[in-house]
Amino acid sequence: MSRTILDIKDFSMVFGGLRAVDHANMHIDEGEIVALIGPNGAGKTTLFNCVTGVYTPSEGDISVVSPLGKSVRTNGLKPNRITELGLARTFQNIRLFSSMTALENVMIGRHPKLHAGIFGAIFRDSKTRREEEAVIEDSLNILKKLGLEKYANDSASSLPYGAQRLLEIARAMATEPQLLLLDEPAAGMNPQETRELDDTIKRIRDDEGITILLIEHDMSLVMSLSERIYVLDYGKMIASGTPEEVKSNPAVIKAYLGE
Amino acid sequence: MNRLLSEAKKSLITSLWFMVLTFPLLVIKVNTRDNTVVWRWMNLLWVAIGAFGLSWIWRRMLERREKGNTRIQSSAWREKVTVFASNRKFQISGLSTLALVVVLFPFLVKFYQVGIVTSALMFVILGLGLNIVIGYGGLLHLGYAAFYAVGAYSYGLMYLYWGLPFWVALPFGAVSGALFGLVIGFPVLRLRGDYLAIVTLAFGEIIRLLLENLSGFTKGPEGIAQIPRPAFFTKLSLQGATTYLYFIAIALVLLAIFVIKRLEDSRVGRALEAMRDDEIAAQAMGIDLTKAKLTTFALGAVWAGMVGVVLAGKTTYINPGSFTLMESVMILVAVVLGGTGSIPGVILGAFLVTLIPEYFRALADYRMLMFGVALVVMSIFRPQGIIPRVRKRYTVGGGKE
Amino acid sequence: MNPDVKYFLQLVLSGLTKGSIYALIALGYTMVYGIIKLINFAHGEIYMIGAFTALIIGGVLQITTELSPLVILGISLVAAVFYSAAYGVTLEKIAYKPLRNAPRLTALISAIGMSLILQNFVLLAQTSDFLPFRSMIPDFSFLIPGKSLLTTTQLVIMVTTFVVMLFLTLLIKFTRMGKAMRATAQDKVMAQLVGIDINRVITFTFVIGSATAAIGGVLIANHTGQINFYIGFLAGIKAFVAAVLGGIGSIPGAVLGSFVLGMTESLGAGYISSAYDNAFAFLILILILIFKPSGLLGRNEVEKV
Amino acid sequence: MKKSVLVLVAMALTVSLFIGCAKDSGTIKIAVVGAHSGDLASYGLPTVKAAELVAEEWNKKGGLLGKQIELVIEDDACKPEVAANSAAKVVGDGVVAVIGHICSGATKSALGIYNEAGIPAISPSATNPPLTQSGNYPNFFRTIAPDDAQAYTDSKFVAEVLGAKKVAILHDKQDYGKGFADFCMAALEEMGVETVLYEGITVGGIDYSSVLTKVANTDAEALIFGGYHPEASKLVQQMTQRGISIPFVSDDGVKDDTFIQVAGEFAEGVYASGPMDTSDNPMYKKAVQDHIDAYSEDPGAFFINAYAAATAMMNAIDKAGSTEGDAIMSALRSEYVETPLGSISFDEKGDAIGVGFAVYQVQNGVYVEL
């Protein structure tokens, strides 16, 4: 059995009396592609935000297991610490560094893997110089993997919408995560782009060995990609299992179709 | 034709509105002691004509801004300049000429001109320092003059109590500037935008008030006088010291440009800019905001600390009155005018802010009004500044173009 | 009365006076912020223009007509309110409206620019000297025994502050425009979708905010007895601190923040040293923001991710 | 290659712009430096007018040492950092003497530059005592008494005329006001008067009721204030309104008609020190009349002191028979000269002999010398 990367136990998030997520449990194993679905406002993004440290969970435990098998409880850790533990994410409403070029966006993703400090930057010793050369090289490679190299020197905000979504993925990949959290990666893409995205995500998992958790509304993409699915409704985890199991789960059908 | 008429009508209405608006302040002048009222009706005419014309131009400019015309034009224009400027031969000849002029300058002009240009260069360094905080870190700092004061008083007090010379004070001023940057940085870590602006303003004022009130230690409002000018092995004549200070300022400007360029191009600089663009995304990329903010404040304050020492050495007299909020605002004006985040922009901005009033004394009374207008117009029509930041391009395959 | 207790009470009353003064300016600050999320740096200048207009119109009437002082006070107050509101609205149209979708920093710099423009406009159009501002508020003689505790002007300022706060609260809670303002404050796009003319709402906010500043300007000039072009800048910064202290955007917050500020200054001056009164004001601001980054009554806005 | 030549030419042009025109040795240049713009202009401009009037007088008589006097007028905005540049500028212009600066801080930063150039400076208004007493500024002279002399005059008045045993002292935390307050405290101590409250107040404050409560809470018999008229008028108004009736004694910054105008009825009874009234002096009358004739308005702040300063300086150059700094300075020290302030000369330190302060009181809306 493969190693569990992310373990969420009995987790709740309360915003001023409103239970956005209520006693949810979830676990992700290495090498999986897992989807988190649910109607709008079900608490999916809130769960993402708690896992990545944007919010601190109200109750429960979230732990991340490092490749060496050490488990770290992440409740209350800052987002940058969680990124260093090997979690990286994209945002539902695109949050690129808009004044920078596409390449620079990816270079920033390399931040946790680099070491140069202020003095290194100023004196630019040979180590720093090598590091800088490698950053450009590595970042370009990541752009190439996602077919974005033609945009390398373009301002991130001037990219087409689909490319911006891909650039977010590229930027997250640059942090060399073990688990990549994608928040509605296909939102706003046309069917052609969505099909390509399907391939891209599979490639990321297969070639890079990155485990993937995604929130998505496009059911055909979810069904084709994911090996397991969790369903959130009104903050409660109402179902989980393989795509087939979830599809036939009466609670899920009820949640999606109403009564 | 119809369009012209409707435009004229719009301008006419604006003009009338401004006549009403400025009527009491511009037309009437009362003297309650002599019980006289002066009516300055001519002013109303100027307002009418001015408002009519300016509102016409204003609407035109707004329209063009809507269409984004200016952007296309300016980038085409910039393309040409960039091509021109990246010509190797031009770079070499241009830079060497510039270097020659910079070196010969103090020997070619009257020495008070050297003093004035030194003041401008000091402002350039202040602008570059504040630019780290605002342009790269994206943190609106309204108390920057406090770091300037810290530097000046470092030298002033070190001289007063221990008789230490300029060259000892200079690194000390830089370090104490950075330390104060950290001191201010800590409490404001959680604050954003507007809250940050007001708290930095508050800090700036507190430091000035302390300098004013702790008169046993700082000599209070009386200030510290007779601070020696920097010595070059031996005490220099006035002319000599002025020239010397000029070269010190030039050296500091070069150092600042060098350091900032290097930072811009590094992991640290990228982290600061990422924080400016989007704090949440930056954190998600593993950037420690606490560290990034403290770095920003310290790196920005270092320069003000150093220039403060130079100021004390140049004027030989310092008092708290030189480090008011207005001073912070003027540095901000220089940065915004020239181009936030752009090194050549900030240099130009600092020169404009210091040299225009110096060489157009007749306009002295209109100086602040003009700066105000410049801030508003620039914010609306050219927020990126006169010389905007040009982002670096990389050749695909590694290295720079 | 025990002299120590009396001393304390006097300081508290001074604090209340200062607080009321700050509140009159801070209310407008906070209202404008609530709607357009922009620090209207020029708000202090609007207050100064209110005071100047009252001085000029009042002076002209005094010299050229035979009207009774109360009528003159009335007319100059109306003129001050009208002109402050007019300047406020014009300022918004010129310097803020084109920047509604721009980064906050850009808009704030435009606001600082506008503040410089208005200050220097008044300086050039009038004078840099202090001008005497004769108190137009009649002295209520029944207060004379308590003179050392509270002056008439102070009392009028306190009462006015209270009335203005009440008026604004009712306006926002119960009127149609108030509802539109609240909707705009919460979400401009949604407000537009449900048919609210946000331009009208913003204009209205500037009218009300500037009008309160004008009332403040006239009353405070009555209290200090003098005005010049620079009074708005200092008062504006204090009011700004008060508004931020209370939680910018909140009407009761502005009043509470102002009282905290006034009280800190007064007690600090009374028991420590008045040389540090501004330092105390700024220190309390920093302390409160460290522990409560959104001010005393401000809502902690969670950024949507 | 062509381009760089072009650039060079452009640079050379710019440089030549800076250099300006060559020196003209046909005139004697005297600098007038002070605050000529901004909100302090009203303190600096009257000095320019005084210097112009005196210079015109000399020029009509055929000039100084046979040459016409040329005034070099520079603005220092009352800021030390600007003053250093202005000083360097007038030195570069080849002036032989300076009338100014106006503010003590600006004066201090400029004096070192004049000293190195061997140029004497005479100020009509810089009253900070160390300027003459520290010995650091041998080239400095002034036609106004220093703050400590003024403080002594006020203190003596408080102790002897008002007979106060306990006083409260407030100051505005500025160079001038605080200096005055400190000297008052020291002088009063010597005279056996106790200072029961000593405190700074904030310039531009809206309400001073807290600090006045504090004053009322002491048993002070007089309140001494060091500072300028805007704060003074707020203080006296708020004192009257809260029924604090102890005498209010202040300095030359308050002995200004604007104070009476702004404070109105509340100004009545206020004491303030100012230069001794010499308005009976025929030269005084002539100076004022000349000003009215030339500029059709009454002269402003420090006009008489500036007129005296300009007169003394030009007389010294004339007596010295040279434009050498040392000769001018020794002439200033040895020669008595008739000025609107009376017949004056300067002591070793640079203070004017025969110039002093007197205490005035506002009576029926005017300052009356006591």
* Residue B79 pLDDT: 66
Picking from A196, A189, A187, A220, the residue whose alpha carbon sits closest to that of residue A40 is A187
Burial level of D248, CB count in 10 A (0-12/13-18/19+)?
buried
Q: Which residues of B262-285 are buried (b: 16+ CB within 10 A; e: fewer)?
A: bbbebbbbbbbbbbbbbbbbbbbb
- A70 near B CB under 8 A: no
Closest partner residue to B267 among A52, A95, A116, by Cβ? A116
Residue A95 lies in a domain: no
Q: CA C76, C80, C81, C87: dihedral to nearest 10 degrees? A: 160
Cis upstream peptide for A111 (omega within 30°): no
- Mean of the per-residue pLDDT values of chain D: 88
Whichever domain contains A214, its CATH number is: 3.40.50.300
Last residue of a domain, one of A139, A156, A176: A176
Picking from B276, B242, B7, the residue whose alpha carbon sits closest to that of residue B139 is B276
Chain A: residue whose CA lies nearest to C302: A55
Residue D163, min C-alpha distance to chain B (Å): 30
Residue A122, min C-alpha distance to chain B (Å): 5
Best of D23, D113, D132 to disrupt the B interface (most B CBs within 10 Å) is D113
pLDDT surpassing 50 at residue B222 = yes
Contact C302 A49 (CB under 8 A): no
Over residues B212-216, the mean pLDDT reads 89
Last residue of a domain, one of A176, A205, A224: A176
Of A10-24, A36-50, A195-209, B72-86, minimum mean pLDDT range: B72-86
Q: B139-153, C222-236, D293-307: which has the highest mean pLDDT?
A: B139-153
Backbone angles phi, psi at A230, to 5 degrees: -110, 145
Residue A98, min C-alpha distance to chain C (Å): 12
Contact D88 B238 (CB under 8 A): yes
- D75 near B CB under 8 A: yes
Q: A150-159, B135-144, B167-176: which has the highest mean pLDDT?
A: B167-176
Q: How far is the CA of A6 from the CAs of A84, A180, A211, B143, B263, in angstroms?
A: 14, 11, 10, 45, 36
CB contacts of A15 in chain C (<8 Å) are 302
Q: CA B90, B94, B95, B100: dihedral to nearest 10 degrees? A: 150
Contact D206 C273 (CB under 8 A): no
Do residues A34 and A161 share a domain? no
Over residues D278-296, the mean pLDDT reads 91
Q: How many Å apart are CA D298 and CA D300, to the nearest integer?
A: 7
Binned at pLDDT 50, 70 and 90, residue D23 comes out as very low
* Helices D80-92, D104-117: inter-axial angle, 10-degree rounding: 30
Contact A112 B286 (CB under 8 A): yes
CB contacts of A136 in chain B (<8 Å) are 394, 398-399
Neighbour order of strands in the sheet with A33-37 = A87-89, A179-183, A211-215, A33-37, A228-233, A236-241
Last residue of a domain, one of A127, A154, A176: A176
Do residues A79 and A108 share a domain? no
Maximum alpha-carbon separation in chain B: 81
Q: How many Å apart are CA D153 and CA D157, to the nearest integer?
A: 6
Q: How many Å apart are CA C258 and CA B194, to the nearest integer?
A: 18
Over residues D273-294, the mean pLDDT reads 90
Binned at pLDDT 50, 70 and 90, residue C1 comes out as low
Distant-in-sequence, close-in-space partners of B324: CB < 8 Å, separation ≥ 6: B145, B208
DSSP D34-70: E--SGGGHHHHHHHHHHHHHHHHHHHHTT-BTTBEEE
Over residues A190-219, the mean pLDDT reads 91
Complete domains list, chain D, with CATH: 27-145+280-355 (3.40.50.2300), 148-277+358-369 (3.40.50.2300)
Residue D20, min C-alpha distance to chain B (Å): 8
Picking from D66, D112, D119, the residue whose alpha carbon sits closest to that of residue D95 is D119
* Residue C108 pLDDT: 86
What is the token pair recorded at B205? 């004022």
CB contacts of A93 in chain C (<8 Å) are 304
Residue A123 lies in a domain: yes
Residue A109 lies in a domain: yes
* Residue D205 pLDDT: 86
pTM equals 0.90
Helix (H, G, I), strand (E, B) or coil at D158: helix
Residues comprising chain B, all counted: 401
Complete domains list, chain B, with CATH: 2-69 (no CATH), 102-381 (1.10.3470)
Backbone angles phi, psi at A87, to 5 degrees: -110, 135
- C82 near D CB under 8 A: no
Do residues A73 and A199 share a domain? yes
Binned at pLDDT 50, 70 and 90, residue D18 comes out as very low
* Residue C291 pLDDT: 85
CB contacts of A173 in chain B (<8 Å) are none
Neighbour order of strands in the sheet with D337-339 = D337-339, D342-346, D352-353
Contact C274 D202 (CB under 8 A): yes
Binned at pLDDT 50, 70 and 90, residue A213 comes out as very high
- Mean of the per-residue pLDDT values of chain B: 88
Distant-in-sequence, close-in-space partners of C169: CB < 8 Å, separation ≥ 6: C251, C252
Local structure of residue D141 (DSSP, 8 states): E
Q: Mind listing the pLDDT tens digit for each residue in C205-220?
A: 999 999 999 999 998 8
CB contacts of D80 in chain B (<8 Å) are 223, 315, 317-319, 321-322
Do residues A122 and A133 share a domain? yes
Do residues A213 and A228 share a domain? yes
Over residues A86-97, the mean pLDDT reads 92
Tell how far CA D338 is from the center of its chain. Answer: 20
* Contact predicate A210/A204, CB 8 Å: yes
Which amino acid, one-letter code, is at D187?
A: A
Of A222-236, C136-150, D10-24, minimum mean pLDDT range: D10-24
Helix (H, G, I), strand (E, B) or coil at A32: coil
* Contact predicate D104/D128, CB 8 Å: yes
Over residues D108-132, the mean pLDDT reads 91
* Contact predicate D41/C128, CB 8 Å: yes
Helix (H, G, I), strand (E, B) or coil at A230: strand
Closest partner residue to D261 among C17, C132, C230, by Cβ? C132
Q: How far is the CA of A149 from the CAs of A98, A142, A166, A197, B383, in angstroms?
A: 17, 9, 11, 16, 30
CB contacts of B115 in chain D (<8 Å) are 84-85, 88-89
Beta-carbon-side half-sphere exposure of residue D302 (alpha carbons within 13 Å): 32
Which amino acid, one-letter code, is at C234?
A: L
* Contact predicate B113/D26, CB 8 Å: no
* Contact predicate C239/C44, CB 8 Å: yes
Beta-bridge partners for A42: none
Residue B370, min C-alpha distance to chain A (Å): 30
Q: Mind listing the pLDDT tens digit for each residue in C106-135?
A: 888 899 899 999 999 999 998 888 888 877
**Which residue segment(s) compose the domain that A190 sits in?**
1-86+177-259
Residue A96 lies in a domain: no
Closest partner residue to D213 among C14, C21, C225, by Cβ? C14
Backbone angles phi, psi at B184, to 5 degrees: -75, -35
Do residues A111 and A72 share a domain? no
- C193 near A CB under 8 A: no
Over residues D29-43, the mean pLDDT reads 86
- Name subunits touching A (3+ CB pairs < 8 A): B, C
pLDDT surpassing 80 at residue B1 = no
Contact C274 D210 (CB under 8 A): yes
Residue C203, min C-alpha distance to chain D (Å): 30
Helix (H, G, I), strand (E, B) or coil at B144: coil
Domain count, chain A: 2
Do residues A9 and A74 share a domain? yes
- C112 near D CB under 8 A: no
pLDDT surpassing 80 at residue B78 = no
Residue B236, min C-alpha distance to chain A (Å): 33
Q: How many Å apart are CA B373 and CA A253, to the nearest integer?
A: 62
ipTM of the complex: 0.88
CB contacts of D173 in chain B (<8 Å) are 212-213, 220-221
CB contacts of B365 in chain C (<8 Å) are 124
Burial level of A241, CB count in 10 A (0-12/13-18/19+)?
middle
Picking from B303, B8, B285, B37, the residue whose alpha carbon sits closest to that of residue B147 is B303
* Contact predicate B177/B297, CB 8 Å: no
Binned at pLDDT 50, 70 and 90, residue B248 comes out as very high
Backbone angles phi, psi at C108, to 5 degrees: -65, -40
What is the token pair recorded at D291? 């000003």
Burial level of C65, CB count in 10 A (0-12/13-18/19+)?
exposed
For chains B and D, what is the number of CB pairs under 8 angstroms? Answer: 122
